[in-house]
Amino acid sequence: MNTGEAIVILLAEDDPAHAEIIRRTMKISRIANRLEHVSDGQQALDYLYRREKYADPAVSPRPGLILLDLRMPRVDGLDVLRQVKSDPDMARIPTVILTTSAAETDIARAYDAHANSYLVKPVDFDKFTQMMDSVGFYWLMWNCNPEAWASG
């Protein structure tokens, strides 16, 4: 189980409405973790590799969880996932694909690239909110994060 210490969540989501639902759900569920939102794949990589406006580690602390949309501008989410999982410094960061695509090929590609989970966003607002609530509790409360155990 998680040690109770707040972790940073990197949300890579180009749809502002979906990002707001996630932010609100975390607040309603009293998930006190810091949510960092980027709106495209290039910004996600810049954040993770501390480039450009994210060069300062205080601005871009290492996330303990990445919520990653597949279909994003500039750099596709699958390409972000591949880079994260091929980097020894980031490979252990739990990365959850959060997308509208239920295509079998997308699911297979994501798991082939070592996604930790693949979730299809429900179109129904209440179901989307419920799913995000469950995601928060699972990944932030119940899941054992290797970084937390290594530092504890």
DSSP assignment string, 90-101 = TTTS-EEEEES-
Please choose, from the candidates 147, 80, 73, 135, the residue with its C-alpha nearest in 3D space to the C-alpha of residue 113: 80
The token pair at 94 is 């739990």
pLDDT digits (tens, 9 = 90+) for 94-134: 999 999 899 999 999 999 999 999 989 888 888 877 887 77
Q: What tokens were used for 138?
A: 């699972």
Report percent pLDDT > 90 for the chain: 53
* Alpha-carbon distances of 104 from 58, 62, 111, rounded to whole Å: 39, 31, 11
Task: Report residue 124 as tokens.
Answer: 């129904």
Q: What value does the mean pLDDT take over residues 28-46?
A: 86
- Check pLDDT > 70 for residue 18: yes
* Residue-range domain boundaries for the chain: 8-141
149 has pLDDT over 90:
no
- How sure is the predictor about 140, in pLDDT bands with cuts at 50, 70 and 90? low
Residue 5 is predicted with a pLDDT of: 58
pLDDT for residue 75 is more than 50: yes
Q: 112, exposed or middle or buried, with CB in 10 Å at 0-12, 13-18, 19+?
A: exposed
Q: Is CATH 1.20.1260.10 what the domain over 8-141 is classified as, yes or no?
A: no
pLDDT score, position 24: 82
